[in-house]
Amino acid sequence: MVRRIFAEYLAGKALKAIDEALTSDGVPSPSAYDPARNRHRCGIAWAWTIAWAWTAVAAILANPRYTGRQVWNKQRKDEVLLDVDDVALGNVTKLRWNEPGKWIWSDQAVQEPLVDVETFERAQTVRRARGAADERSPRRTPRPYALRGVLRCKVCGRRMQGSWNNGAAYYRCVFLSQYAAKNKISHPRSVYLREDQILPRLDNWLTTKFSPGRLPATVRELVDAQDHTGAPADAGTEAAKQEIADCDASLRQHRAALEAGASPEIVTSWINETQANAPPPRHASASSGPDVGA
């Protein structure tokens, strides 16, 4: 499928035409092929067999690992002022993409290549030539959405989008307008939820949760959300915490060496080794909130 995507793109097909063809042919999307690694995607069973998105196609075309070679230095960390008019607020670290010319490629392939380097570079040239007009993410709106990014559709589980209509904030899920109706999904064409129908109920719930009488129980719930087992830390947990602290210290030393002028290739190998030795992260469970799903 990777080879097909590159071939069709270089033959002149647009991203959206490629994703529609893959969906029509019944090809599993990346999240459908491996749902265990994509639990953040739509959780409906039948949705795993459909719905390629053009963003998935674009991500495949931009991934140099399909050439079989290791690639480093694709991103960098920039310190950006939170407010240029008030420098006392400090900085925030943002990851940003480096220009492809600054990427560091391994001399030899480290895995089986699916496309050769020449094909990959031709695809990048075509992408730059076509421009990003049809590949940009939606423009962030200046509208004030109090629940931006936290509401999910109760029908399909997907995150709802903000929509401003008639001077009021709404949240919508338009499943079928994004994934063709030929998929025969049992989902309304659009689901709308008005913000002012949610906020009073949410405010009442928060007022109850943080009232003086309920505050101790709320604090316990927040603590339990950090460690859902509620059990005291055992020797294994303490050892894992110490190992994480050691890995963090090593990573800080590696970064200092890189900033001091050490070879990026050598430092990258150190970082990869440190990350490989780090224990897997633990996922906290969130406490339940009010049922405000659409």
| Domains of the chain, start order | 2-130 (3.90.1750), 161-226 (no CATH)
**Cα separation of 204 and 214, whole Å?**
13
Range from 22-36, 181-195, 253-267 carrying the lowest mean pLDDT:
253-267
Give, in degrees to the nearest 5, the angle at Cα 36 between 171 and 183.
Answer: 55
Helix (H) or strand (E) holding 168: strand 168-173
Assess whether pLDDT exceeds 50 at residue 125: yes
Reference 185, options 17, 49, 52; nearest CA is 49
Residue 105, classified by CB atoms within 10 Å of its CB into exposed (0-12), middle (13-18) or buried (19+), is: middle
pLDDT score at 158: 75
> By the 8 A CB rule, do 258 and 267 touch?
yes
* Each residue's pLDDT tens digit, 19-75: 888 887 878 888 777 777 666 555 454 444 456 778 889 989 988 889 988 888 878
pLDDT at 161: 86
Q: What is the mean pLDDT of the chain?
A: 76
Q: Is the pLDDT of residue 278 over 80?
A: no
Would you mind telling me the total number of residues written for the chain in this entry? 294
Mean pLDDT of 240-251: 73
**Of 38-52, 125-139, 152-166, which gets the smallest average pLDDT?**
38-52
